Amino acid sequence: MNFLAHAWLSRHGSDDFLYGNLIADGVKGAHLESWPTAVAAGIRHHRRVDAGIDHHAEVLQLLQMAPRAQRRYTGIALDLVWDHFLASRHPDATLVERCYRVLGEREAPARLAGMVPVMIEGDWLQRYADFDFTCRAIAGIGQRLRGPNQLAALTPWLRDEYANLEAAFVTLWPEMQHRFSE
């Protein structure tokens, strides 16, 4: 769950729009009528960004390089890797504090309710600057999935491919900003 990347791309919008971007992974379905208009717009924006990133040439190339056994999980790991590069290359404490405030003032969807307070308390968004922390977060997500922890198994590959991941980010991020900044 790449909270920081989605926050960056929606930082110029209202708090409701930002909130929608931050919680979108916890919202299922296409019917968003029960959400305030700006929150629903943020959820839709998040989903457009995800689709754009998932189909970007850099991401598709990395997916082909990933170990076959973990390939279907690689996109999840890459989302957090993008947050790592944002936190380490473009730290923005003001944006992080805004995210924590916006998330802390509202009730998170059930799928995120247990994680959001822990994320805020542990200052995950700034700690993603530490790649070891990011890898632990990736492995932690893998613990919540069924079966063997394929995300934990993927972290050695992420470490080995760090330079390629960083090069992909350097290409990917400006394009995402140009295409999706609100």
Q: What is the pLDDT of residues 83-134, one digit of tens each?
A: 999 999 999 999 999 999 999 999 999 999 999 999 999 999 999 999 999 9
Residue 52 has pLDDT above 70, yes or no: yes
Supply the mean pLDDT for the chain: 95
Q: What percent of the residues of the chain are helix, what percent strand, and what percent coil, each to the nearest 5? A: 75, 0, 25
pLDDT band (50, 70, 90) for residue 146: confident
Residue-range domain boundaries for the chain: 3-180
R_g of the chain computed on alpha carbons: 16
pLDDT at 38: 98
State yes or no: pLDDT of 161 exceeds 70: yes
Question: Does residue 154 sit in helix, strand or coil?
Answer: helix
Nearest to 70 by CA among 182, 163, 154: 154
- Give 109's DSSP letter: P
